C-alpha cells in the first residue's frame, strides 16, 4: 500500500540521517521510483553535509526475468520484486529529472556484481589513496548517500 511505502521511506531516511550525522556513509537499497522520495533523500544529504548520488541499476529485460525466476527458487528469499510487477513498476517510475548529472549514475548491472560495483567506486571517486575502496564494492553497488570528508 502507499501508506506502507511512505512509512518504509520515512524509516530508511531517518536511519540514514542518524548515521550521516555520526559521520558515516550510507547506501540505501531502494527503488526510489518517485521524485518525492529522491528529493527527501536530497534534503537529508543537504542537512548533514553529505554527497548524494542516485545509482540507477540497469540490465536487459531478459536478465531481469532470469534473476527473478532464480530468486523464486531460492529457499528463504524475500523480495517484492516479481516478474508480473515489472511493467507496473516501469510505468510508475518517475525519471530522475530533478537530479543534476553529477547526482545520477546509471549502472549496467548485467556483469558480475563486483565488477559493476568496482566501476561505481571508481566513477564516484570512492577509492582511497593507494586504490583501496573506502566502502565495500558490493555495498557500493546500490545506494544513495555518502558522507563527505
- pTM value is 0.76
- Residue 144's contacts (CB-CB under 8 Å, 6 or more residues apart) are 16, 26, 27, 28, 30, 32, 41, 52, 53, 54, 55
Helix, strand, coil percentages, rounded to 5, for the chain:
50, 15, 40
CA-to-CA distance for 129 and 82, rounded, in angstroms?
A: 41
pLDDT in tens, 25-75: 999 999 999 999 999 999 999 999 999 999 999 999 999 999 888 887 776
Statement: residue 79 has pLDDT above 70: no
- Average pLDDT of every residue of the chain: 83
CA-to-CA distance for 3 and 25, rounded, in angstroms?
A: 28
The residues pairing with 50 across neighbouring beta strands, listed in sequence order, are 147
E strands along the chain, which residues? 50-52, 54-58, 104-108, 145-147
pLDDT of residue 143: 46
Statement: residue 147 has pLDDT above 80: no
Statement: residue 22 has pLDDT above 90: yes
pLDDT of residue 141: 34
Amino acid at each position: 500500500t502507499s501508506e506502507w511505502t511512505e512509512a518504509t521511506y520515512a524509516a530508511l531516511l531517518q536511519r540514514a540521517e542518524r548515521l550521516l550525522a555520526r559521520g558515516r556513509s550510507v547506501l540505501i537499497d531502494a527503488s526510489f521510483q518517485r521524485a518525492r522520495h529522491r528529493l527527501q533523500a536530497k534534503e537529508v544529504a543537504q542537512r548533514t553535509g553529505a554527497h548524494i548520488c542516485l545509482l540507477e541499476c540497469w540490465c536487459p529485460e531478459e536478465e531481469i526475468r532470469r534473476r527473478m525466476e532464480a530468486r523464486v527458487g531460492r529457499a528463504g528469499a524475500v523480495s517484492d520484486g516479481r516478474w508480473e510487477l515489472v511493467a507496473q513498476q516501469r510505468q510508475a517510475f518517475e525519471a530522475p529529472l530533478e537530479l543534476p548529472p553529477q547526482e545520477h549514475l546509471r549502472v549496467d548491472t548485467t556483469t558480475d556484481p563486483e565488477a559493476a560495483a568496482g566501476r561505481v567506486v571508481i566513477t564516484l571517486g570512492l577509492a582511497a589513496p593507494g586504490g583501496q575502496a573506502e566502502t565495500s564494492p558490493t555495498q557500493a553497488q546500490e545506494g544513495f548517500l555518502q558522507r563527505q570528508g
